[in-house]
Amino acid sequence: MQVAVEMLCHRGPDGQVHKTYAPHVHLFHARLSIVDIEGGSQPMDDADFAIIFNGEIYNHQELREKFNLTGKTRSDTETVLLLYRQLGLDMLQHMDGMFAIALYDKQQGKVWLMRDRAGKKPLYFSVASDGIYFGSEQNLLQKILRPAVHLPAIAEYLQTGMVYGAETAYKGIHELKPGHLTQIDVQQLTISEQQQWWSIEPFYEQTLNISEQEALELVDQKLKVAVKRRVESSDLEVGCFLSGGIDSGIMAAMATQIKPDLRTFTVKFAGEYDESAVARQVANHLGTNHQELEVSYDQLTADFEKIVSAYGEPFMDDSQIPSFYVAKEAKKHVTVIINGDGGDELFGGYRRYVPFAHPIFRNGLVKGASKAMAPLLPAPASKMNLYNYLYRLVKLSSLNSYEQYLSASTDMLFDYKSAFNLQPAEMFEQQVESNFKRNISGLNKIMLTDFQSILPYILLKKIDISSMQSSLEGRSPFLSKEIMEFAPSLPDNLKVRGGTTKYLLRRLATRYLPNGNEKLPKKGFEVPIINMIENDLQPILRDYLSSSDCIYKEVLDPILVMKLLEDKVTMSRDKRAKILFSLLTLEIWNKNQKK
């Protein structure tokens, strides 16, 4: 268990405990103490059950009252045990939270593994010759089991930017999918097929018959409940990230109604990303205790391998870099932070959603004309111009559903399929094709697919790893049970209207934010990825990609990579930089997993 202590201490610096319950059952927990600091130690057990639990159940006090549960502690961990005793697995339907749970039922001789609806908290498992292992990070299982690399997953990563579903980059290590559970038989040392206990799909398949004003009142009410739970369910001070965007602004505004002296934080990157002026205006408007966190990339070269190695898998999202520095700086002030994650995916916040919201985009004649035009158009040299937008629009319209989705989202090496020498894993392609055949609107098709793929397998993974590296807990009210079961059913024109994204949230923002803020465009962490790849990271990039034992050579033609490295492939500088960044993180992961 010493290896677990060493490798998971950052997730739980406040205590590491190992208990043995039967010859075959060993539970280890590293705790970040937030709720019932004195009484919430884990593993928690009684005569019948034992549990280890990563995350928070934000409505656990409400559930104690609703089901008349009485315990010895104020801990949400004990609430889960009490609920299971009364409701069994039906308890999951009532829980609003983020969680990865392992619950040992001593009488049945079963260990249940359970994961939250959206996939906020990770959970991996593996069946080995000497037992079944599970944990919160792939790095730990890899260190213990030393599995072989799963090459079809590497090919999938290089084509799509992620490893989707239950598969991972390792043979034999599996990810428990969001909204799923599985059962381990302690005596037989077997594990069941994953079962889905919650799905967002039914909520996209029904459209609410609701007026704009009714929808506005309901989303206001539901978000207030979600924010209240996430502010009050903590024995430590809860702060709030405040960017210049409307999502975090609404979160901060609602949080100040519960905690008037709320601490808010805005990030300023030296010489680069800076929304501090807008955030300062919002903070003044709300009267928060505001602080600007200065972050510099001065130590990037020294920190880079540490940052990307924490993921335990190849990881393509370059915003993992600012996310690491933001969490590190915020942790100096608070342990719990409210964020606006999930607002874009559930309310229609991305510009790429706009074409999918318009019927003309799916018109047969338009599609035919686009197919004829697309091969004749030269690739754009820059991402930030009108031609690039028109080029991508024509190209999108000309593609089939799977190609269309990838082109609109992760946009990796899918256009270079002939350069691959093995077939990538196909589960993601099958999921996209299935979604695009559903009898739902074009907008809902892409939003549903984003929720099932990019959100859990890229964005939430990044948020969990980057924050937990600094022992910081991020809470996302937009990913509350009530919002996830409400927003998908809203009419399309309340999500995207004309060229306006996130229409309903922009209406809501007029109630809480300074006049005019609701019109501001979406901005994420604008990472200077081109400059990093062409300058700061150039030495280690060439060193890794020119190595004799590169893993990309086992799935991809090395000639293409060398052409990319020498800038001899026709594509935008931005796309080239992102692909090279993804190859670099792949090779750093490959080096680490060989140690």
Q: Is 267 annotated as a binding residue?
A: yes
DSSP 410-447: T--SGGGGGGBSSPPP-HHHHHHHHHHTSSS-HHHHHH
Buried b (16+ CB within 10 A) or exposed e, 379-389: ebeeeeeeebe
Give the sign of the dihedral formed by CA 562, CA 567, CA 570, CA 574: positive
Let me know: does 502 contact 43? Beta carbons within 8 Å: no
The residues, ordered by sequence, that sit 6+ positions from 347 with a Cβ below 8 Å of its Cβ are: 478, 487, 490, 495, 502, 504, 505
Report the C-alpha dihedral over residues 228, 230, 231, 237, rounded to 10 degrees. 180
Residue 265 vs residues 275, 328, 340, 396: alpha-carbon distances, Å: 11, 13, 13, 38
Let me know: does 282 contact 517? Beta carbons within 8 Å: yes
Burial class (CB in 10 A: 0-12, 13-18, 19+), 72: exposed
DSSP 437-499: TSSS-HHHHHHHHHHHTHIIIIIHHHHHHHHHTTT-EEE-GGGSHHHHTTGGGS-GGGT-BTT
Q: Is 76 annotated as a binding residue?
A: yes
Q: Hey, what are 571's tokens?
A: 């594509």
Rg (CA), the chain: 24
Binding-site residue set for ATP: 267
**Binding site for L-glutamine, residues?**
76
Cite the annotated binding site by residue number.
Answer: 76, 267
